[in-house]
Amino acid sequence: MPESPFAHTLQVLLHVLTALLLPPLLPGLINKVKALMAGRSGPPVLQLYYDLAKLSRKQAVFSRTTTWIFLAGPVGAVSVGLVAAMLVPFGHAHAPLQFQGDVILFAYLFGLARFLTVLSALDTGSSFEGMGAAREVTFAALAEPALFLGFAALAKSTGSLSLSTMLAHTGPLFKFSGPLVLVLAGWAIVYMAENSRIPVDDPNTHLELTMIHEVMVLDHSGRPFALVLYGASLKLLVLGALLVGPILPRNLGPLRDWLVFYLGLGILAVAVGVAESVMARFRMTKVPQFLVAGVLATAFAFLLMLV
């Protein structure tokens, strides 16, 4: 679809603003749904914005055992996350950055973010953070194949290696709806694991021995911690775009595309909140089985595309 330069600039601007401003809303929505499900009124939907504002005015405290790596974790993770956000199409508008093979870059940007977070956790020398780091990389190793096999299935069906064409595919959906359901099911599991949601992790727990992701950021405070929180919510948005993108109705026109995208994200947040409200967390030893289920789902999707 040919676009005027003005419309294109507007699209890019909207994309950047969405990536910068929208993420903190998602945890707020999830928490609100959880609170309502439990019969509480819960914190305001905008709570994370308030928290970020508060933290940005606070002084950071650094442990004497840490080095610059400790700070590189949150700073690096957020910058890498923002770059990844520029590669993903939000809804059916093309991403600001796109080229053949950007899907590989996207996946490894997340790998890089994780690497930096893990390093900064290990930098503290705390036994908790070491444990959390070990858990994080173990589970990531199982979540990554699901992400890649899903990409492979999509690449096969769309004949493209660029996220913008793979996700915002304009062709008819029904041709490949079976595999797509499997891919999305596998990615839903990845989504839960990557965003440390129940049943894999519990983002609200205060029990340091049971945490996976949260325990790695226990020593952060002030502005770096604000970055950590923002980075986590950015991940909810970017991976969420991956999940809702392929199933949004197509060819609605630019304005309605955006509205539908926001609506899709909202529904995703509500779904996460509901899922968290009705089940308990898995035992840590069961998490790998759950992740392998995700890998299997996407692997079958890929196989089906090959047939």
Partner 1 sequence: MSRSQFLPILNGQVLPLSEIPEASLEDFRKTIIQGVHDGLRLVCLCADAELRLFAVLAEDAAQQLRVGRTKLVQASFPSITPHCVQANLFEREMAEQYGLVPQGHPWFKPVRFHASWMEGRDAWGRTSIPSPAVMDFFTVGGEEVHEVAVGPVHAGVIESGHFRFQCHGEIVLHLEIALGFQHRGIERALVGGPHSLSLKHAETVSGDATIAHGWAYCRILEGLAGVQIPARSEWVRGLALELERMANHVGDLGALAGDVGFLPTASFCGRIRGDWLNLSAAVCGSRLGRDWLRPGGLRFDLEPELAKQLLPRMARAWEDTQDAIELLWGAASVMNRFEAAGHVDEGQAREIGLVGVAARACGIALDVRKDQPFGPYADHPIEISHAESGNVHARAWVRWLELKESHRFLTEALQGLALTPVDPAPSPLPALAPSSLCVALTEGWRGEVLHLGVTDSEGRFSRYKIVDPSFHNWFGVALAMRGEQISDFPICNKSFNLSYCGHDL
Binding site for partner 1 (CB under 8 A): 34, 37-40, 127-128, 130-131, 198-199, 202, 204-210, 218, 276-286
- Joined together, the tokens standing for residue 43 give 């914190």
Our CB check for partner 1 shows the closer of 113 and 198 to be: 198
Q: How far is the CB of 95 from partner 1 (least distance, A)?
A: 35
**Residue 274: CB minimum distance to partner 1, A:** 11
CB of 91 to partner 1, least distance (A): 31
The dihedral over CA atoms of 24, 30, 34, 39, expressed in degrees to the nearest 10, equals 70
Tokens standing for 251?
A: 């060819």
Judged by beta carbon, residue 198 or residue 305, the one nearer partner 1 is 198
In sequence order, what are the residues at sequence separation of 6 or more whose Cβ sits closer than 8 angstroms to the Cβ of residue 28?
43, 44, 45, 46, 47, 48, 49
Q: How far is the CB of 125 from partner 1 (least distance, A)?
A: 12
Choose among 246, 218, 14, 16: nearest CA to 117: 218
Nearer to partner 1, 123 or 129 (CB): 129
CB 67 within 8 A of CB 122: no
Distance separating alpha carbons of residues 291 and 191, to the nearest angstrom: 10
CA 105 distance to own-chain centroid: 15
Measuring CA to CA, which residue among 212, 271, 283, 260 is closest to residue 236? 271
Beta carbon of residue 55, minimum distance to partner 1 (angstroms, whole number): 18
Between 4 and 204, CB nearer to partner 1: 204
Angle at which helices 177-194 and 287-306 cross, to 10°: 150
What region, left, alpha or beta, does residue 28 occupy, with left being phi > 0 and alpha being psi -120 to 50 degrees?
A: alpha
Tell the smallest beta-carbon distance from residue 40 to partner 1 (Å): 6
- Work out how close the CB of 239 gets to partner 1 at its nearest, in angstroms, rounded to a whole number: 21
CA–CA separation, 217 and 204 (whole Å): 13
| Biggest CA pair distance of the chain | 58
**Which residue number, 225 or 302, has a Cβ lying nearer to partner 1?**
225
Per-residue b or e along 248-263, where b marks 16 or more CB atoms closer than 10 Å to that residue's CB? beeeeebeebbebbbe
* CB of 44 or CB of 249, closer to partner 1: 44
Of 84, 114, 293, the C-alpha closest to 187 is 293
Smallest distance, Å, CB 37 to partner 1? Answer: 7
Q: Answer whether the bond into residue 43 is a cis peptide, omega within 30°.
A: no
Which residue, 111 or 203, is less far from partner 1 as judged by CB?
203
**Nearest to partner 1 of 176, 191 (CB atom):** 191
